[in-house]
Structure 1
Amino acid sequence: MLRKMLLTVVCTVSFGIIKAQNVPTVLEVPTVTSKKEKFYESIPIVKEVISFAKDHLSTRYRSGGTSTHGFDCSGFTRFCYKHFGVALPHSSAAQGNVGEAVTKGEAQPGDLILFNGHSAGGNRIGHVGLITEVIGDQIKFIHSAWNGGVRYDYLHASYYQRRFVGVRRVAHLLAEK
């Protein structure tokens, strides 16, 4: 009996020592800074704009709406940026001319994402949203849609993929404030 207890203790201690030797020290663990964190470091107010936009989730859709009583798509993006001192025009087509065009692969939180209206044909901008998150090739955005008000959607959804027009970087306008 004593031999079994002693053997159990020796095995437990030995196992603990082996495990401890395989655990990397704090110095050995590499630090990974994501693309998103670097972007927020360069223009930290972008995080505040996105947080402000999230505060308005579920606000109803209202054609021509520019307030918390109801937003249309461009009224919502305009409202969010206006709160931080950036004036955007009140039409999705006009917002498609603000800032600088960037590729889908360069998209970052805070960028405007632009779509065709109800028809996937043509290239006329009819809808706009605010990118909130980019993970790999997945782009999440917040927008005011006629069927649900302010909500999240993903670019990889077929409805939005077919209507995608482009991305506009306007965050540098925040940095100038």
Structure 2
Amino acid sequence: MIKKIILLLVLSSFGQTIFAQTAKKDTTQKASMSAELLSFAKKHLSLRYRSGGTSKKGFDCSGFVRYCFSQFGFTLPHSSAAQISHGIEVDIDQAKAGDLIFFKGHNSGSQRVGHVGMIVEVGTNYVKFIHSAWKGGVRYDFLNADYYRKRYVGIRRIIHESN
């Protein structure tokens, strides 16, 4: 009877160890996919903006996001207004690198989504993102800049636990 109890305890402990290692691997995989995605996006810094652009010849904002995500097996539509319906909504205080950040277009009074980028870094008082902007092409910007702060709409997570 004591041998059965000891065996049960050993097997139970072994199972917990395997579960913990698997959970850690999943978290690392998730983080590394976001890091790889952002590293890939960074390689396109300074490429020019092109309305409707979907290639290295020039990107618009949603074309750039779609292109980068497609390299990692994700399918997104080519429109920021349509991309905001994908993934899961995330509060700004829960934002992570790899999340999509959405903005209104040129008219800050509009309710329509017109711009998208990918969050690169979240700090105590800032959110840094990469996007293809009409002025400057693929570049980094910060949410706390007046232009973007006034047009901020929300954040969506495409890369999550089930991916």
TM-score by length of 2: 0.81
Aligned to 2:110, which of 116, 122, 128?
122
Q: Could you tell me how far 1:169 is from its partner in structure 2?
A: 0.5
Instruction: Please list, as runs of the form range in 1=range in 2, the aligned pairs for 1:88-167 lying within 5 A after superposition.
Output: 88-167=76-155
1:88-121 CA distance string (max 9 Å, x none): 1100000010001111111110000000000111
Structure 2: distance between partners of 1:84 and 1:41: 16
Identify the residue that residue 57 of structure 2 maps to in structure 1: 69
Query: Cα RMSD (Å) of the superposition?
Result: 1.5
1:28-64 CA distance string (max 9 Å, x none): xxxxxxxxxxx97351211000000000000000000
Identify the residue that residue 44 of structure 2 maps to in structure 1: 56
**One-letter code aligned to 1:114:** F
Uncovered stretches (5+) of structure 1, i.e. residues with no partner:
1-38
Structure 1: distance between partners of 2:152 and 2:145: 11
How many residue pairs get aligned? The number is 137
Q: Percent identity?
A: 56
Identify the residue that residue 28 of structure 2 maps to in structure 1: 41
Identify the residue that residue 18 of structure 2 maps to in structure 1: none
Change (3 A) 1:40 1:110: farther
Change (3 A) 1:126 1:42: same
Which structure has the bigger radius of gyration? 1
1:67-91 CA distance string (max 9 Å, x none): 0000000000000000011011100
Runs of 4+ in structure 1 off by over 6 angstroms are none
